[in-house]
Structure 1
Amino acid sequence: MERYVSGPWLARLVDLPPDTRPYYRALADRLRGLILDGRLATRVRVPAERHLAQALGVSRTTVTAAYDRLREQGYLDSRQGAGSWTTLPDPGALGTDNPWVVPRDDGLIPLHAAAPPATSLLPEALAAAAETYPRYGLGTGYDPVGIAPLREAIAARYGARGLATRPDQILVTGGAQHAIHLVMTLLTGPGDPMLVESPTYPHALDAARLRGARLVPVGFPEDRWDLDLMACAMRQSATRLGYVIPDFHNPMGLFMDDAGRAELVRAARRYDTTLLVDESWAELAVDEMPAARPLAAFDTDGRVISIGSASKLWWGGLRIGWIRATSAMVRRLAVLRAGVDIAAPLIEQLVVAHLFERIGPAKAERARALGASRAALAGALRALLPEWRFTEPRGGGSLWVRLDAPNATPLADAAAARGVRLAPGPWFGVDGTLERYLRLPFTMPPRALADAVPRLAAARAAAASPGSLPVPGPRDAALTPSL
């Protein structure tokens, strides 16, 4: 039997003051909040627009605009002639509020992005690359696997970290996200089960959904990896690909030790799962700590594929990443890649090759800056938001904060109205989960973080007030629980 709600019943539940402006947006926000906190269940048919407008005493156009906004955000599913039903959005579908396509001059503090500024070593590397660049002008400029100096530098770095690697095991890509897409395109298809951590890197979830993969999430009981749980998920779901982040996990900041890495690879071998290992944050230790070898160092049969990136250690504007795999897998990925973008930009490859020569100073510079920012953010949160809980990671770029209420999405809306763009927990999960969590990066300078946290405290007060909704200002860019 179909479930539905009447116009008068929903109007009583909404209970918005008639002078709220803009009313359509407040109505959409209220309905979204009702869905997220369970007071309005999913797969329930909502009233026709004219019926709800009559019950609320507003124009039908106002309700139509609110419903349209909810459809864009993924909270209403409509079929022409049949009505509209409540639903939860695909966490990979941001709709019109996607923070990655909004103007950069909107004035909001970008706390949704864990992206450090460029290293001070960049100008020197750019100059060196410009000097080297003309030597490559006699060729075609196309190299689907990447130029030799960069592949040699990446292979040498793996060797220094305890994983012997040849240059022919390296494929240079247009960033880590490009690498993730290539591997998932090659190894997954519609309906294929794929193991993911929950929470995890949101753009990896996007890539898996684009392939039509069936996500198999594994959580973190007590803020640690449960390797037995991961092995059980591999066995029960027959996953052929698993995406994991063992090095300063994004967003949790956890770091897997050598024993855990060996156990995870053994489980993958036992249940015939290939592991796609994201090492984007691997070089970003803030505190001194015991080193751990790359996960692939425990691999004996080519089932671990590693990806890395220049964006966290050096700069996000350097769209250079890489894949480390068997030479046979690199050739297969290169053929696939040639049909997409042929090759990475030469000048950026040369820049990163030069930056590898100064990796020690770059790591030290990042550790100093991230350490100062981590201390500033953690101190401000403890002073102004003591109800929120977090553990300071020993590296990486963000705090995974447990809120005092499951209201990350309303909090993100309230923060946007106060000049801060946030990354609420559901962006990092599957099927709208993790509403009690928030990722707060410490990749910005301490002064910017000191400006942001008081705004978060004001947003928390607004989001926690019953019946309170922030009135969007001219800079408002409210976010939806996805990415």
Structure 2
Amino acid sequence: MPPVSLSARAAALLLADWRDGTDAPAYEALSDAVRVLVIDGRVPLGVRLPAERGLAEALGVSRTTVANAYARLRDDGFVVSLRGSGSVVHLPRDLAGRPDPERLGGVVPGDLLDLRKAALHAAPEVAEAVERAVRHVPAALAGIGYDTVGDPGLRAAIAARYTERGLPTDPSQVVVTIGAQHAIALLARVLVRRGDTVLVESPTYPHAHEAFREAGARLVGVPVDARAGWDAAALETTLRRTAPAVAYVMPELHNPTGATMTADTRRVLLDVAATTGTTIVADETMGELRIDGDPAPPLAVADPSGASVVMIGSAAKVFWGGLRIGWVRAAPELLQRLLLARPTGDLGTPVLDQLVARELLPRTAAVLEARRTFLRTGRDELVAGLRARLPEWDVPSPAGGLTTWVGLGRPVSSALVLAARAEGVVLASGGVFGPDGGFERFLRVPYTMGAADRERLVDVLGRAWSRIGGEGPGTRGSLAAVV
């Protein structure tokens, strides 16, 4: 099978900032930028790079510059030339056996502090819920053990939680899934036809835009900023211009920026989506982890029937990541479509997990109170530590969630992540969160760990920043030095 090709146009989009922050010769800067994309996972292994002439035209440089960049990548082991296949992405031998430090999946050695996944330790209530759930196992064993809808008691508990938050919900509006990502992928399969436009935030949760792309969607992005939030004018214009089939949004404590959508922007989203026939998928995975202030009501309060606003929730962020329970709240008609499509991918959510979640949901308020105290301490100490150690960084203090979206000032996120890994800490670079790449000026930094690991993280980031030349104005450290 011939390798998948990366078009010159797509490569040019990924390489939009390739000359920023470096005084190196053009071919060296270009090869370094491609190297970052490979290490970052945004250009997968085995992909054929564009032809030299096509990429040169797309970037507005000479063919010689591209040829020399490719030659340097070949010398460094990041590209191999195959007869009839052109220049194909590869990993050097010294990197091929290691887990990719940039991707959110994979396993890293136990001596490294892995912060790619922003997640909390299990709440104490989880162990207690397991003990209570075991009492219901004999009754569960009397059944066949799986179905695609979900445990009736858990669905009732989820519906009750929505009702408590101001969104009246009936259990018939809820389907239980294997975590929120499963819900996103299932909705993408049902709501998107190949070639449909899907609006996503930029940056956004990586596995969400991957799921919509896999379903055949053509993605259009709207910007979200950690401090300014959503650009309402851009959101309205994009909705009207593209009339997307789906708009995937995280209106409360957005991942990764931590922003919360204002009431005015929510009205724009809801009103314009109604005129374009767009189904809004509102992901509340982080939504209840507010530290400061009062949470906004669920987006679907404006559409209690669930006809045009679909809600996604999860037990993983509040209770424990190992509890793989998510759910979809939508109109029963859409849920029926999801249930018809589901068996091609799975035959149901694990019963034992559902029994545990059923015990936990009524205790959500108490768990959240303890989580807020822990997260407030973690956020305040991490933000203060980063601001003191790296005053040139823009370090927001988000109102909730699990991470801060740090502005580095220069497009060196992947290089910084590689340098940090050499110091024993694994992070996800900003580029991972861009639907079309980019965001090399940003780094998502979790504050979910204990005090000792927070201190270690700040110290490692300070040393890594120095290692890539971060302290020098307008300089960029050599990627070769940190790979």
TM-score normalised by structure 1 residue count = 0.81
- Post-superposition offset of 1:14: 7.1
For residues 323 and 257 of structure 1, the distance between their equivalents in structure 2, rounded to whole angstroms, comes to 23
The answer to whether residue 173 in structure 2 is matched with residue 173 in structure 1 is no
Partner of 1:349: 354
For residues 455 and 160 of structure 2, the distance between their equivalents in structure 1, rounded to whole angstroms, comes to 40
For residues 339 and 372 of structure 1, the distance between their equivalents in structure 2, rounded to whole angstroms, comes to 44
- Post-superposition offset of 1:301: 6.9
Partner of 1:163: 167
Report if aligned partners of 1:284, 1:396 keep a CA contact under 8 Å in 2.
yes
Partner of 1:369: 374
Provide Cα deviations, 1:338-366, integer angstroms capped at 9, x if missing partner: 23211100010010110012112100111
The answer to whether residue 315 in structure 2 is matched with residue 315 in structure 1 is no
The structure-2 alpha-carbon separation of the partners of 1:272 and 1:445, relative to structure 1 and needing over 3 Å to count, comes to: same
Partner of 1:187: 191
Give the length in aligned residue pairs: 426
The aligned runs of 1:460-479 (5 Å cut-off) are 460-464=465-469, 466=476, 468-469=478-479, 471=481
Partner of 1:238: 243
For residues 478 and 262 of structure 2, the distance between their equivalents in structure 1, rounded to whole angstroms, comes to 45
For residues 15 and 360 of structure 1, the distance between their equivalents in structure 2, rounded to whole angstroms, comes to 54
For residues 446 and 41 of structure 1, the distance between their equivalents in structure 2, rounded to whole angstroms, comes to 53
- Post-superposition offset of 1:31: 5.8
For residues 202 and 266 of structure 1, the distance between their equivalents in structure 2, rounded to whole angstroms, comes to 27
The aligned runs of 1:70-469 (5 Å cut-off) are 80-81=83-84, 83-84=86-87, 97=100, 99-220=103-224, 223-287=228-292, 289-299=293-303, 302-464=307-469, 466=476, 468-469=478-479
For residues 173 and 34 of structure 1, the distance between their equivalents in structure 2, rounded to whole angstroms, comes to 33
The structure-2 alpha-carbon separation of the partners of 1:236 and 1:12, relative to structure 1 and needing over 3 Å to count, comes to: closer
Report if aligned partners of 1:197, 1:243 keep a CA contact under 8 Å in 2.
yes
Partner of 2:94: none
Residue of structure 2 aligned with 1:43, choices 49, 55, 61: 55
Partner of 1:89: none
Partner of 2:92: none
Report if aligned partners of 2:161, 2:362 keep a CA contact under 8 Å in 1.
no
Provide Cα deviations, 1:119-155, integer angstroms capped at 9, x if missing partner: 1111100001111111111111122110101000000
- Post-superposition offset of 1:257: 3.8
Report if aligned partners of 1:218, 1:233 keep a CA contact under 8 Å in 2.
yes
Residue of structure 2 aligned with 1:66, choices 78, 90, 95: 78
The structure-2 alpha-carbon separation of the partners of 1:85 and 1:43, relative to structure 1 and needing over 3 Å to count, comes to: farther
For residues 397 and 122 of structure 1, the distance between their equivalents in structure 2, rounded to whole angstroms, comes to 19
For residues 386 and 372 of structure 2, the distance between their equivalents in structure 1, rounded to whole angstroms, comes to 21
Q: Secondary structure at the match of 2:77?
A: helix
Unaligned runs of 5+ in 2: 1-7, 9-23, 40-51, 57-62, 90-97, 470-474
- Post-superposition offset of 1:196: 0.5
For residues 340 and 52 of structure 1, the distance between their equivalents in structure 2, rounded to whole angstroms, comes to 43
Partner of 2:44: none
TM-score normalised by structure 2 residue count = 0.81
Q: Which amino acid aligns with 2:84?
A: G
For residues 301 and 122 of structure 1, the distance between their equivalents in structure 2, rounded to whole angstroms, comes to 30
For residues 286 and 395 of structure 1, the distance between their equivalents in structure 2, rounded to whole angstroms, comes to 5
Provide Cα deviations, 1:435-480, integer angstroms capped at 9, x if missing partner: 11111111111221110111111111122265544756xxxxx6xx
Partner of 1:481: none
Partner of 1:475: none
Provide Cα deviations, 1:54-103, integer angstroms capped at 9, x if missing partner: xx9xxxxx7273325xxxxxxxxx774363389xxxxxxxx962644433
The structure-2 alpha-carbon separation of the partners of 1:263 and 1:210, relative to structure 1 and needing over 3 Å to count, comes to: same
For residues 82 and 327 of structure 1, the distance between their equivalents in structure 2, rounded to whole angstroms, comes to 49
Q: Secondary structure at the match of 2:409?
A: coil
Report if aligned partners of 1:408, 1:435 keep a CA contact under 8 Å in 2.
yes
The structure-2 alpha-carbon separation of the partners of 1:466 and 1:167, relative to structure 1 and needing over 3 Å to count, comes to: closer
Q: Secondary structure at the match of 2:417?
A: helix
For residues 258 and 238 of structure 1, the distance between their equivalents in structure 2, rounded to whole angstroms, comes to 22
Q: Which amino acid aligns with 1:291?
A: P
Q: Which amino acid aligns with 2:269?
A: L
For residues 470 and 67 of structure 1, the distance between their equivalents in structure 2, rounded to whole angstroms, comes to 15
Identical-residue share of aligned pairs (%): 40
